[in-house]
Amino acid sequence: MPVGATSRSEAYVNGLPTTSRLRLVRGMAVLAGGLAVVLSAGCQSDEITSYTVPREARSGQGPAKGEKVRLLAAVVPHGDRTWFLKLVGPEADVSAQQPAFDRFVQSVNFPDKAAEPIAWTAPEGWRQEPGNEQRYATFRIEAQSKPLEVTVVALGREAGSLKANLDRWRGQIGLPPVPEEEITKLTKEVDIHGVKATLVDMTGTSTGKTGTMPPFAGKRAPFLEGQREAAARPGLKYETPPGWKQDPSPRSPRIASFEVTEGEQHADVTVTVFAGDVGGLRNNVVRWRGQVGLPEASDAEMLKDVKKMEAAGSTGDYLDLVGPGTGGEKATRMLAVSLPHDDRTWFFKMTGPAELVGKQKAAFEAFVKSVKFDGGKGANP
């Protein structure tokens, strides 16, 4: 049964979970393979096939290697979390968007009595996309050379020192670690509605990996590394429902992505994978509720409609949510399944207009139940 809706300003994502050192070590293996997905868009047969997407096919995001790039960021501690807002891309394009980014940062506020702890005003021309297990929000900006991406990530208050985050960002844009005495030249302390924040402005040369890693206390993010390891296995198989249009090159962190269309309505289906349990069921439900515009509630209220679903030899948690949306759109509905497998958690989600998602519910359930994993412990025969 869908959970009732109340209004709110934006989606909310809890701080990202930590994992054990064992998982971190496993995750640091760099695999040169591609993502395993099913090349079955538009196919209506029952045959399950697999297709490996070359890594290069996913690399259309961000500046090319050797290109001059600029990085703008804001580090905003508030309560028990630290918020990271970041824009990175070709120097000329980012410079053109700097006034808009500055206005965006200055618009951030933390209403005391609101259902969610953060709100902002998005500049004209910025297109907000639903959050995911990694990000609170993503904005797409059409730019002169290639689209830009603004990311918003919420981590725990202990999100690493300023220098640690600066050094990691500098590494992404081809710069060496910053000497302590140089930090003040790259940063500026500002007041944002009573909250002390730090602005960052750096220019470097793209390493070809700009923007691929979110803030994580200067360390490798274990959930991303675990995702990379799992995704590299050519063993994820599933049946694509009729009418679902598959993206042959899904952008990270998606393992697979589909669009479902009816008239002018569009729903998004995503498959992602992360190491560990990504904070556990309660935190996942809080995150999902935020993504459809629902506030956090009591544990009993939030968990009462969680059902179990059997897929790929595992038992997952399945939730059907309806909320007011996060961008002023009509009622948004989400079908979400978290499926544990081989020390990782796979997420299958459909998000879109409530009416369309309702019509596609049976197809979504059949899609998840068709999933199979080859290789690794617990694999299907």
Tell me what percent of the residues of the chain surpass a pLDDT of 90: 41
- Rounded CA-CA distance 304/324 in Å is 20
pLDDT digits (tens, 9 = 90+) for 311-323: 999 999 999 999 9
Place of tokens 């059997």: 310
Token duo for residue 43: 């196919």
User: Could you tell me which of 258, 276, 249 has the C-alpha nearest to residue 34?
Assistant: 249
Pick from 25-39, 69-83, 310-324: least confident = 25-39
Query: Per-domain residue ranges for the chain?
Result: 21-60+223-373, 68-210
Q: Is the pTM of this model over 0.75?
A: no
User: Could you tell me which of 64, 75, 231, 67 has the C-alpha nearest to residue 151?
Assistant: 75
Whether the per-residue pLDDT at 93 is higher than 60: the answer is yes
* CATH homologous superfamily for the domain 21-60+223-373: Mog1/PsbP, alpha/beta/alpha sandwich (3.40.1000.10)
Of residues 292 and 360, more confidently modeled: 360
Section 166-192 average pLDDT: 91
Give the pLDDT confidence score for residue 362 in this predicted structure.
97
pLDDT digits (tens, 9 = 90+) for 244-261: 999 988 876 788 999 999
Place of tokens 């879109």: 352
Give the pLDDT confidence score for residue 160 in this predicted structure.
67
Whether the per-residue pLDDT at 3 is higher than 70: the answer is no
Residue pair 122/139 in contact by the 8 Å Cβ criterion:
yes
Residue pair 178/82 in contact by the 8 Å Cβ criterion:
no
Give the pLDDT confidence score for residue 306 in this predicted structure.
95
pLDDT digits (tens, 9 = 90+) for 205-217: 876 644 444 444 3
Tell me what percent of the residues of the chain surpass a pLDDT of 70: 67
- Rounded CA-CA distance 208/250 in Å is 18
Section 293-303 average pLDDT: 85
Average pLDDT, the chain: 75
pLDDT digits (tens, 9 = 90+) for 38-65: 333 333 333 343 433 333 333 344 566 6
- Rounded CA-CA distance 14/58 in Å is 27
Section 194-198 average pLDDT: 93
Read off the pLDDT band of 342 (50, 70, 90): confident
Give the pLDDT confidence score for residue 156 in this predicted structure.
67
